[in-house]
A and B are shown apart, each in its own frame.
Chain A
Amino acid sequence: MSRRRGLWLAGLLVTLVVAGFVSYHASSSPDGLEWAAGETGFADTARDSATAGSPLADYAVAGVDDGRLSGGLAGVAGVAVTLVLAGGLTLVLRRRTGRPAVDAAAGPARD
């Protein structure tokens, strides 16, 4: 039990550090699709998303001028929302067996 929680907490810490700090050092070069679109001449067919005016658009918090802080806060917010949505969904879908350890060990082997 404590080891499971240990992995979960360590994973959450790494996730928050990546989203909150490491993300600042991401390459700002166009990604593979943007680059290919530019090379072959269809980049200008891209349209702004309807959410382009979102307060978190492009991984920056509107109104926060410091780039490092703005991107870090946006990343942490995204982690929180993703964790709540995906965590909530998977908790709803999970099997409630009462014998989790035995069942989990046998479960994946059957497919």
Chain B
Amino acid sequence: MHVPDGFLDAPTSVATGVLAAGTVALALRGARRELDERTAPLAGLTAAFVFAVQMVNFPVGAGTSGHLVGGALTAVLVGPWTAVLCTTVVLVVQAVLFADGGLTALGTNVTLMGLVAVGAGYGVFRLLVALLPRTRGGLLAAAGAGAFVSVPAAALVFVGLFAVGGVADVPLGAVAAAMGGVHVLIGIGEAVITVAVLGAVLSVRPDLVHGAAHLRRPADLATRPGLHAEEAVR
């Protein structure tokens, strides 16, 4: 998913750079509301974890691979604004130290994986959390669906950027079909990893999971013994 230098022309790269900078500026404000003494250390670790897991490309179909983007996972774990910042740090480290993703394409990559993947993943998650049973299973299903959607969403936004500012003159429909198709498959892997990691964290420290606030709210209010206690422990 990391866009190299050269795929998109300079005006498009500048535009995504401005969009990315604006998103990060908003995230710097928004993350203050999500981070406190307990969750801040988890946020730093989550970024490092996403960096590590992004090194592990998994095979999808014939001769292709993909890796976790982590937008939905990070947003559910530590909050969407913090997820934008964590993803951006990962992308900067990858571009500057590891030559993974272009430097002029950094704004594009922050837009695709920071803004679009986090936004789409967390948006679908919140929508489904409102619709599904308020249980651990419902939460994991919502997170998995958000993770699944986030990858083809980012891929299709790339196709949109390519339509505007792609350097090569190739049929757009073919690009959309190839990008959409392969990233649906990668999205399955994204969902599997997201559900596995989130399930593991939920089983030991559900109180640290930003997106699980609706599961623990009854426990916080349970000054009346036993009223919602069994709901809270599920």
Interface residues on A, range: 35 or more
- Please give the distance in Å from A108's CB to the nearest CB on chain B: 4
> What's the nearest-Cβ distance from chain A to residue B108, in Å?
11
Contact indicator B182/A35 (Cβ below 8 Å): yes
Residues of chain A with a CB closer than 8 A to B178's CB: 35-36, 39-40
Write out the residue numbers on chain B whose beta carbons fall within 8 Å of the beta carbon of A41. Answer: 168, 170
Contact between chains at A104 and B38 (CB < 8 Å): yes
Interface size class of B (residues with CB under 8 A): 35 or more
Across-interface contacts of A26 in B (CB, < 8 A): 55-58, 65, 67
| CB–CB A15/B45 < 8 A | yes
B60 lies within 8 A of chain A by Cβ: yes
With both beta carbons as reference points, the residue of chain B lying nearest to A58 in the complex is identified as B99
Is the beta-carbon distance between A16 and B52 smaller than 8 angstroms?
Answer: yes
A11 to B204, CA, bound (A): 12
B163 at the interface (CB under 8 A from A): no
- The main secondary structure of chain B at its interface with chain A is helix
Interface string of B83-105 (1 = CB under 8 A from A): 00110011011111111111100
Q: Mark A1-41, 1 if CB is under 8 A from B, else 0.
A: 00110111001101110110011011111111101110111
User: Shortest beta-carbon distance, B204 to chain A, in Å?
Assistant: 6
* Residue in chain B with minimal CB distance to A46: B4
Inter-chain contact A23/B179, CB cutoff 8 Å = no
The interface of chain A, by Cβ under 8 A from chain B, is 3-4, 6-8, 11-12, 14-16, 18-19, 22-23, 25-33, 35-37, 39-42, 44-52, 54, 56-59, 74-75, 77-83, 85-91, 93-97, 100-101, 103-109, 111
Q: Which residues of B contact A (CB under 8 A)?
A: 1-7, 28, 31-49, 51-53, 55-60, 63-67, 79, 82, 85-86, 89-90, 92-103, 155, 158, 162, 166-168, 170-171, 174-175, 178-179, 182-183, 185-186, 201, 204-205, 207-208, 210, 213-214, 216-217, 220
11 A-B pairs with C-beta separation under 8 A: A15-B51, A30-B63, A33-B2, A44-B168, A49-B102, A58-B100, A78-B98, A82-B89, A82-B93, A101-B38, A108-B213
